[in-house]
Amino acid sequence: MSQDGGLLAPVRAGTRAEAITSDAAWLRAMLEAEAALARAQARLGLISSEAAAAIDRTARTLVLDPAELARRSRQSASPVVPLVADLRRAAPGTAEHVHRGATSQDILDSAAMLVATRAVRAIVGDLSAIMRDLAELAERHRDTVMAARTLGQQAVPTTFGLKAAQWLAGLMRARARLRDLRLPAQLGGAAGTLAAIEDRAPGLAPALVEVYAEELGLAAPLAPWHAERSPVTDLGAALVGTARALGKPATDIVLMAQTEVGEVAESSAGGSSAMPQKRNPALSVLIRSAALQVPAYTQVLGQVGEHERAAGAWQAEWLPLREALRLTGGAAETGAELVAGLRVFPGRMRANAGLTGGRLVAERLYAHLDKEALARVLGEDDAGVRQDLLDPGAYLGAARELVDRILATYREQ
């Protein structure tokens, strides 16, 4: 696993997600998985409690260099092999009990689910903060008239409150999907049969899986999932949905903050190296970049592998999974900063809604005017047309009610 600090990925540089998914964090999670396996076996009487305590103590204090471990793992295609060797050397008298009944994929998959669980928890926290601020924006701007835009052009009137509420609705769905994830531990032994455990303690293998998962704070799987990668693909899909839900307000804000539009502005400095007059929507740009990258990374996750253990497909998941977690987490943390500092200019929204005169409500006028009068309005001549028909604020449909419905659902959650 790389030591890169995110020079080319500023959206996640210095964020909690980056720290949670660092090389050191993955290494620590693998050691936690080994320690949990020993504790679980001790609870079922498969090894002594003293041996489990010694392995646990050693795993907690063992210091390894991730880069050096990665180099040594080239001989086995797995960092778990040299890690287990080091753990056994560091735990004298208990070496025979280290990694007993497990295989490398058990430890790395369990560690991946531990890391992912922690990253998802941080993402959910940031989403909750964003949603709270969006709910306030939606309520405050429930009646703030602006032009809705379809295919990049002004369409009919809407409210900024509804736009913010729609952003909120997307994040509500994304957060619910993340919360519904039940990331499982992995324990199957050499080929997913748990044979090494069953041979030593007939009938105890299923119980050991349950206790092992409990020790890790992960879900207990129905069966080993070495080659059945639904947990990883489900996680990837939830991350894609979250990144896209974050990318939607970011993309809209980029467009609304354009100089000619000027309906919102970020709190960021948004500096340019060549044009000092510019105030770029930097936070939105970072979030949008993440939203575009996460789907590409997750395409690699859960590829069909051969038989009981994939040769390459599983190994190909490690880096893309970490990057998907990092980018989504970085986008969520950046999104919280973006929404908390967002400045809204209702006057500019109203002015833009009036740029085309009666054209913004042409859909309404079509039902009230004859063809000749409608043609005059579309030609920017609204003389003789009732002014109440031309008011964008009088043609908002159910915008306010939709805001209320979304907010009511948010508050129920």
Question: What residues act catalytically?
Answer: 272, 309
Residue 159's contacts (CB-CB under 8 Å, 6 or more residues apart) are 141, 142, 143, 144, 145, 146, 396, 399, 400, 403
What length does the chain have?
Answer: 413
How many angstroms separate the CA atoms of 292 and 271, rounded? 23
CB-CB contact of 69 with 82 (8 Å):
yes
What own/partner pairs with CB < 8 Å and gap ≥ 24 does 13-18 have? Answer: 13/330, 15/326, 15/329, 15/330, 15/333, 15/334, 16/122, 16/329, 16/333, 17/119, 17/122, 17/123, 17/325, 17/326, 17/328, 17/329, 17/330, 17/332, 17/333, 18/326, 18/329, 18/330
The CA-atom distances, in angstroms, between 372 and each of 11, 368, 381, 384, 392 are: 54, 12, 11, 12, 21
- Which value, to the nearest 10 degrees, does the dihedral of the CA atoms of residues 158, 160, 162, 165 take? 160
Paired strand residues for 184:
219
Other CB atoms within 10 Å distance of the CB of residue 151: 5
Residue 271 CA to residue 277 CA, distance in Å, equals 8
Of 239, 225, 224, 256, the closest CA to residue 342 belongs to 256
Strand partners, 196: none
Q: Where are the beta strands (DSSP E) in 176-302?
A: 264-265
d(CA 328, CA 162): 25
| Cβ proximity of 175 and 4 under 8 Å | no
175 closest CA partner among 112, 240, 119, 242: 242
